[in-house]
Amino acid sequence: MKLLIKRAWVLDPGEKIEGEFDLLLVDGRLAEIKPDLELEADRTIKATGFLITPGFIDLHTHLREPGDEHKETIKSGGQAAARGGFTTICCMPNTRPVNDRPEITRDIIDMARKESPVRVLPIAAVSREGKGQELSPMTELAIAGAAGFSDDGQPVSNSALMKKAMEMAASLGLPLIDHCEEKSLTQNGVVNEGRISKLLKLKGIPAAAEEIMVARDIILAKNFRWPVHLAHLSTRGSVDLLRWARAEGLPVTAEVTPHHLLLTEDVLLTSNPDAKVNPPLRTEEDIQSLRQALEDGLIDIIATDHAPHAEEEKKTGLEKAPFGINGLETAVPSLLDLLVRKQGFPLYRLIEVLTARPAKLLNLKDGGQIKKGEIADLTIIDLEGKTTITRESMASRSHNTPFLGTTFTGSIVMTIVSGQSVYQNKYYDKILFV
């Protein structure tokens, strides 16, 4: 199968490619990338005016299967990822049962191969049942195909156990991802501790709860020189700690979510439980610090923390509703519009933190680059296209996003995995093919 893509604007920060090129895909791989290719192909795409990037990689998603298939499945989550321009996603282990055994890891991989249009890489639990008391069989999980380790919403509070986990993950060459939260400070917390929590008369979640654990993880990295990845940073204080870690040359990486870059705690003044997340939405000062850290390279990755919940669960109100936001289908359009177009954030950097950077952290052999001879995972984008977020337009089983009804400038035209289109925006059918 030969697919020829003509006159696209190609942007690949990892390979340092930027310019107008033709791309020839043969049997799932990139065979040629040159300014003008005059070749016969089975199918030709006219991509003039469109942006082509490496397929996006999401380090942090929740697919809910096994155990909570009413919220999401590997199939529906994979379809949502494809609609959002993602070609590889990592699923967190807080399923039922927890992904803490090799057979569960293998089952997820097998199911994803059969049902997901995109690659699904399972992140296995650090501890048995994610309880933070005893290490999971990390070596066996790695052999089974785990792409990394995390206890996700449950931080590894025991520092001795965290030390052992960091050592083991380092020996396996896989990332250790920590949810930074001092639980003793967040019990029954609902929103960011501060002005909004006082106005709504709700228990607050202080910034210190995150920053204490960020500091703990950085100190462990400093003393033992083992890598650690900090999930979904949300505060200025966490950024300051990360800046110190980088100045010390420590092996510490970090991610930020689209919602922590784009939304402040003020969104919760409407008491919309779809904006209830953990860590909570913070202040404008926090947002500005996170944006600058991302632009400067302190924060390495944007990850969605896609956390779908059934509508009836989110309708229980701010106090009782579960934490989490649906993010796979809204991430890229919202970032292109609200961050790049309206705030002047560099497009080059945005693409880098969605492609090359997560690929490097995961040590991926496939994905994250546009390179001759390599697997062709690509995303085609219309920077001027319109994306309206509606229940009907979403592939996810859940719709818990405060962006419902919002129209963004920036749309996913096509998502290509191993040279095959796994999502095609029907609006562009008459434009694309010649």
Task: Give me the active site residues, please.
Answer: 305
Residue 131: CB atoms within 10 Å: 12
| Structure token pair of residue 3 | 């697919």
8 Å CB contact between 230 and 238: yes
8 Å CB contact between 66 and 95: yes
CA distances from 141 to 91, 105, 156, 230 (A): 14, 7, 18, 21
Residue 340: CB atoms within 10 Å: 19
Q: Which of 77, 85, 24 is nearest to 378 (CA)?
A: 85
Q: Where are the alpha helices (DSSP H) in 232-283?
A: 236-247, 258-262
CA distances from 283 to 37, 148, 221, 235 (A): 50, 31, 29, 8
d(CA 308, CA 427): 27
| Structure token pair of residue 317 | 């109100």
